[in-house]
Amino acid sequence: MKRTLIGLLRSHEQTGDKAKDPLLKSHFYKLSKDKAWEEVVSTLKKMQGYKVLHEVQSVGEIVVEKKTAFGRTMDITVSVISVNPVNSAVDVYSASRGSMGDLGSNYRVILDIFRVLDKKLAAFKVSGGSK
């Protein structure tokens, strides 16, 4: 309910280390950046309804597009960041095109992406920071 109310005005959402919502905190994996990159890209390419548009491995960004049931387009950037040689973090920024709010759809998209990545990379998931 709260996300829908926030979504009346806001048409973007993002994750990060300092996110107040625990569900929007960065996700950490015990994988090198290169290995995490391979896993994240291959997982995103297999996700139904998501289209990988652009990959820039040198900066760790994957640009993805998703069309909503109402025909709006969402632009999503997934970042793979090296925390140290054996750990990586993944963050997601999602924004809806257009001037109206998103009714929480960007929030739900981020949770969906994290759910799929966490399932695929369950053996490598690290709780909290760079442990």
Q: Are 27 and 114 in contact (CB under 8 A)?
A: yes
Give pLDDT, residue 29.
98
Check if CATH label 3.40.50.620 holds for domain 2-126.
no
Q: How confident is the model at residue 15 (pLDDT cuts 50, 70, 90)?
A: very high
Look at residue 17 and give its three-state secondary structure: coil
pLDDT value at position 105?
87
pLDDT value of position 115: 97
Dump pLDDT digits (tens) for 36-66: 999 999 999 999 999 999 999 999 999 999 9
- DSSP state string for 39-53: HHHHHHHHSTTEEEE
